[in-house]
Amino acid sequence: MELILTLDVGTTSVKACLFDRQLRQTALTSREYALQTRGVCAEAEAQVYLDAAAQCILALPAEARAKVCAVALTTQGETLLCVDRQGKALRPAIVWLDSRAEAQAARLAAALDRQRFYECTGLPELSGALPLAKLLWLREQEPESWAQTDKFLLLEDYLMLWLTGRAVTEKSLLTSTGYFDLQSDDYWDEALALAELDRTRLPQALACGSIVGPVLPEVAEALGLPASACVVTGAMDQTAAALAAGCTRPGTLCETTGTAMVAAAFTAHPQFSEDHHVTIYRHAMPGAYLYLPISNTIGMSLRWFRDEFCRDLDGGYAALDRLAEQVPPGAQGVTFLPYLAGCVDPDNLPEATGGFYGLRLSSTRAACARAILEAAAFQLRDFLNMLSALGCTAQTVTSLGGGAGSALWMQIKADACRRPFHTLSTVQATSRGAAMLAAGALGWALHDAEEQTVYQPQAETADAYEEAYAAYRRVYEALYLQKG
Which CATH number characterizes residue 383's domain? Answer: 3.30.420.40
Half-sphere exposure of 400 (CA within 13 A, CB side): 29
The fraction of the chain above a pLDDT of 70, given in percent, is 99
Give the rounded percent of residues in the chain with a pLDDT score beyond 90.
82
Three-class secondary structure of residue 111 per DSSP? helix
Q: Last residue of a domain, which of 234, 266, 282?
A: 234
Same domain, 229 and 266: no
Structural domain tally of the chain?
A: 2
Around Cβ 115, how many Cβ atoms within 10 Å? 12
pLDDT digits (tens, 9 = 90+) for 443-471: 998 877 677 899 999 999 999 999 999 99
Q: In 3-state terms, what secondary structure has residue 335?
A: strand
Residue at a domain's end among 206, 234, 262: 234
- Concatenating the DSSP letter of every residue in 161-199 gives HHHHS--EEEHHHHTTSS-EETTTTEE-HHHHHHTT--G
- Give the range with max mean pLDDT: 59-68, 238-247, 437-446: 59-68
- Residue 225's domain comprises 3-234
Categorise residue 11: left if φ over 0, alpha if ψ from -120 to 50, beta otherwise.
Answer: alpha
Cα–Cα distances in Å, from 76 out to 62, 79, 124? 28, 7, 19
**Confidence tier at 99 by pLDDT (50, 70, 90):** confident
Specify the higher pLDDT residue, 288 or 258: 288
Secondary structure (3-state) at 75: strand
Q: What is the pLDDT of residue 447?
A: 76
Element (H, E) at 148: helix 143-148
Q: Per-residue pLDDT tens for 153-210?
A: 999 999 999 999 999 999 999 999 999 999 999 999 999 999 999 999 999 999 999 9
pLDDT, mean over the chain: 93
pLDDT at 425: 80
Contact of 289 with 274, CB cutoff 8 Å: no
> Region 241-250: what's the mean pLDDT?
92
Per-residue burial over 428-455, b if 16 or more Cβ lie within 10 Å, else e, is bbbbbbbbbbbbbbbebeeeebeeeeeb
Rg, C-alpha atoms of the chain: 22
Question: Are residue 143 and residue 255 in the same domain, yes or no?
Answer: no
Shared domain check, 168 and 49: yes
Q: What's the pLDDT band for 484 if we cut at 50, 70, 90?
A: very low
Query: For residue 398, with 0-12 CB atoms within 10 Å meaning exposed, 13-18 middle and 19 or more buried, which class applies?
Result: buried
- Regarding whether 463 and 334 lie in a shared domain, the answer is yes
Average pLDDT over residues 15-19: 97
Q: Report whether pLDDT(95) > 50.
A: yes
- Same domain (yes/no): 80, 192: yes
Mean pLDDT along residues 268-286: 88
Clarify whether residues 243 and 225 are in a common domain: no
Residues 198 and 280 both lie in one domain: no
| pLDDT score of 31 | 94
Looking at residues 279-289, what average pLDDT do you find?
94
Rounded distance between C-alpha atoms, residue 17 and residue 424, angstroms = 17
Res 349: pLDDT: 80
Nearest to 284 by CA among 270, 271, 266, 258: 266
pLDDT for 483? 58
Predicted confidence (pLDDT) at residue 146 exceeds the cutoff of 90: yes
> What pLDDT, on a 0 to 100 scale, did the predictor assign at position 122?
96
The residue-averaged pLDDT of 6-28 equals 94
The reply to whether 368 and 229 lie within a common domain is no
Residue 132 sits in the same domain as residue 185: yes
**Beta pairing class for 3-9 and 68-75:** parallel
Q: Based on the domain organization, do 40 and 122 belong to the same domain?
A: yes
Residue ending a domain, choose from 215, 234, 253: 234
Q: Of 61-65, 227-231, 267-271, which gets the smallest average pLDDT?
A: 267-271
Q: Are residues 228 and 249 in the same domain?
A: no
CA distances from 78 to 51, 165, 378 (A): 21, 22, 28
CA 399, CA 225: separation in Å to the nearest integer? 34
**108 and 254 co-located in one domain:** no
Which residues lie below 8 Å from residue 88, measured CB to CB, with a gap of 6+?
none
